[in-house]
Amino acid sequence: MDQISKAAEIIVSANTVIALTGAGISVESGIPAFRGSQGLWEKYDPMEYAHIESFRRNPQKVWGMLAELYKIVMKAQPNPAHYALAELEKLGKCQAVITQNVDALHQKAGNERIIEFHGTGETLTCMACGKKYEAKNIDFDNPPPLCTCGGILKPDIVFFGEPIPSDALHQSFLLAESADAVIVVGTSAQVYPAASIPETAKSRGAKVIEVNLEPTPLTGRISDVFCQGKASQILPAIVNKVKEKLFGAKY
């Protein structure tokens, strides 16, 4: 049995399936990954541009990078991998998506239960008075964006040096402990605590399906199935196999 068929078999047999997604799922939507040869951290030192202390110390500098990223993210649309996970949810075969991404592409694709592990870029908060703003109403041509009180706005994303939102952390590990299967898509599995989600699920007996361009620390150690290639091709193929197994050969 090939890897895609094995993955579909695991999903169909499972009562509770969750997905963990990272930057790799959004690369084909035109959003750069953070790690790797073309990653954002090759261009920008993460400790210099993505640490909360760097933002507090020199928000103008950090906003130079953020504005560039926002202009890309605001135009991005879901790709077939996002739509495949939304379809799995509609089939009752994906109970939640835990995403490390802040691009809201899972929402745009139609998933409804989404845990944003690293926050969201859809809203920003004034560092001075706490007023909230929607990103769609912000002008990113002249960073940093300012509040009406004059304070600097910070995206509601988790910077290095900031804690994971407690509710997201709690929900994610509750799901990991109860899942029968975890689909890991487009993550390097190097950033903790997110990387420990599949490890936690595996320790409770779950099967782990990995979809990545390259092997990761999960491959061959945690993953039961490794589908190597583009998520935009592999996930729709898995969903088609799932439908075939659920509804018959016409799919």
Domains identified in the chain and CATH numbers: 1-30+78-118+164-251 (3.40.50.1220), 32-75+121-157 (3.30.1600.10)
Closest listed residue to residue 27, CA positions, set 81, 85, 83, 99: 81
Closest listed residue to residue 102, CA positions, set 139, 64, 57, 72: 72
**Inter-residue contact 228 to 213 (CB < 8 Å):** yes
Answer yes or no: is pLDDT of 143 > 90. yes
Mean pLDDT of 46-68: 91
Task: Please state the φ and ψ torsions of residue 134, each to the nearest 5 degrees.
Answer: -90, 135
Answer yes or no: is pLDDT of 38 > 60. no
pTM value is 0.93
Mean pLDDT of 54-78: 94
* Active-site pick, 51, 82, 118, 170: 118
Per the annotation, the verdict on 118 as an active-site residue is yes
Closest listed residue to residue 232, CA positions, set 9, 24, 92, 7: 24
Separation of alpha carbons 18 and 27, rounded Å? 21
Per DSSP, 65 falls in state: H
Structure tokens belonging to residue 242 = 């799932």
Q: Which pLDDT band, with edges at 50, 70 and 90, does 9 fall under?
A: very high
Residue 234's region, left for phi above 0, alpha for psi from -120 to 50, else beta, is alpha
pLDDT at 45: 75
Separation of alpha carbons 155 and 172, rounded Å? 22
Residues above pLDDT 90, as percent of the chain = 83
Model confidence pLDDT, tens digit, residues 113-139: 999 999 999 999 999 999 999 999 999
Per DSSP, 19 falls in state: E
Mean pLDDT of 92-104: 97
Name the helix (H) or strand (E) containing 148. none
Mean pLDDT of 160-182: 96
pLDDT at 36: 55
**73, 188, 190, 222, 228 from 215: Cα distances, Å:** 26, 8, 12, 12, 8
